[in-house]
């Protein structure tokens, strides 16, 4: 996608962190922006920043795990902003709990937000993006945890690998519609992810306080605006995997080599 001016970006989880950074970055390119977030106050603040740049912005209190609410959000975006050209399925959460101690609600929450949230975004917006016949780009926020295994975040891994697979399929299946897709796969970025329990809906057990490990996550890593700049470049140049942290390259290579070695093992019979 080369032209952004006058078009519309939709960002889930746009009230904080990477979503806020993407919303501001696309607004900086002359796009109007719609933000869905369970934290409406945070989303409204970002909308204020966007309006100060001279762009239109709307917000909605939407839980991405609610399929009907995502559909209603899409109706509003099309009604009030007239389209969707860049769809950022970005809202995400994580637990930092050993796999054998996870509750059913922990699993449901993380897989619900990180995988089903992406799916519901696609279901709500993609058919209309196709009908509007103006092309577009879908950015699904995965993680480096969607590329290489890391410890202590099993449901997060499951969802983030799935998001990468889903995105790769979209790239193939949507070519003829002039719509492309990217999977954003960052390492640590300075955001509120470590305290994502603050936004945990009641039906998944309600808000939880961050533990010290989680708090440390929030104060480390890349600047989200730098990551968002790379997202913009990837959308412009149609790059499928947005890999921000070069320090993970050896782990990606090691995983690839192990997979290929498994073929050799099978052949050796
Ligand atoms: N921060 C990192 O180090 C990092 C690394 C890799 C991937 N990511 C991914 O980046 C994405 C954004 O997270 P972040 O790091 O900016 O964290 P963040 O907590 O700063 O922002 C997440 C936003 O999503 C919102 N949200 C949470 N649950 C929601 C729900 N059910 N429905 C709608 N909105 C919801 C929150 O209110 C918040 O505004 C996530 O998908 C996360 O997995 C983050």
106-136 pLDDT, tens digit per residue, is: 999 999 999 999 999 999 999 999 999 999 9
Say which range, 34-38, 135-139, 205-209, has the weakest mean pLDDT.
205-209
Number of the ligand 1 atom closest to the C-alpha atom of 145: 6
Indicate if the pLDDT at residue 217 is higher than 80. no
Say which range, 33-42, 84-93, 188-197, 225-234, has the weakest mean pLDDT.
188-197
Distance, in Å, from the CA atom of 102 to the CA atom of 257, rounded to the nearest integer, reads 31
Three-state secondary structure readout of the chain: CCCCCCCEEEEECCCCHHHHHHHHHHHHCCCEEEEEECCHHHHHHHHHHHHHCCCCEEEEECCCCCHHHHHHHHHHHHHHHCCCCEEEECCCCCCCCCHHHCCHHHHHHHHHHHHHHHHHHHHHHHHHHHHHCCCEEEEEECCHHHCCCCCCCHHHHHHHHHHHHHHHHHHHHCHHHCEEEEEECCCCECCCHHHHHHHCCHHHCCCCCCCHHHHHHHCCCECHHHHHHHHHHHHHHCCCEECCCHHHHHHHHHHHHHHHHHHHHHHHC
Sign of CA dihedral 92, 184, 87, 124: negative
65-74 pLDDT, tens digit per residue, is: 999 999 999 9
pTM comes to 0.98
Are 59 and 85 in contact, with CB atoms under 8 Å apart? no
Distance, in Å, from the CA atom of 48 to the CA atom of 28, rounded to the nearest integer, reads 13
269: CA distance to ligand 1 center in Å?
Answer: 45
How much is the average pLDDT of 59-83?
98
230: CA distance to ligand 1 center in Å?
Answer: 17
CA 35 vs CA 21, 69, 84, 207: distances in Å: 12, 13, 12, 21
The CB of 121 under 6 Å from ligand 1? The reply is no
The CB of 189 under 6 Å from ligand 1? The reply is yes
Phi–psi pair at 242, nearest 5 degrees: -100, 100
Domains annotated for the chain, with CATH where assigned, are: 8-268 (3.40.50.720)
């Amino acid at each position: 996608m080369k032209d952004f001016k006058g078009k519309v970006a939709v960002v889930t989880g746009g009230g904080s962190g990477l979503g806020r950074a993407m919303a501001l970055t696309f607004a900086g390119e002359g796009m109007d922006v719609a933000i869905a977030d369970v934290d409406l106050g945070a989303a409204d603040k970002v909308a204020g920043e966007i309006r100060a740049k001279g762009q239109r912005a709307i917000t909605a209190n939407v839980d991405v795990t609610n399929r009907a609410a995502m559909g209603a959000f899409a109706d509003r975006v099309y009604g009030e902003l007239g389209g969707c050209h860049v769809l950022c399925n970005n809202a995400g959460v994580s637990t930092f709990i050993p796999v054998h101690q996870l509750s059913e609600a922990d699993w449901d929450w993380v897989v619900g937000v990180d995988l089903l949230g992406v799916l519901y975004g696609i279901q709500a917006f993609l058919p209309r993006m196709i009908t509007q016949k103006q092309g577009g780009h879908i950015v699904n926020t995965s993680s480096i945890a969607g590329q290489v295994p890391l410890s202590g975040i099993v449901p997060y891994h499951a969802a983030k690998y799935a998001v990468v697979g889903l995105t790769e399929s979209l790239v193939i299946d949507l070519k003829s519609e002039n719509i492309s897709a990217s999977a954003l796969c960052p390492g640590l970025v300075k955001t509120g992810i470590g305290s994502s329990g603050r936004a945990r809906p009641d039906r998944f057990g309600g808000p939880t306080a961050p533990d010290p490990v989680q708090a440390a996550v929030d104060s480390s890593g890349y600047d989200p605006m730098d990551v968002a700049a790379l997202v913009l470049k990837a959308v412009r140049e149609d790059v499928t995997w947005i890999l921000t942290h070069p320090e993970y390259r050896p782990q990606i290579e090691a995983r690839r080599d192990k997979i290929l070695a498994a073929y050799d093992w099978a052949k050796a019979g």
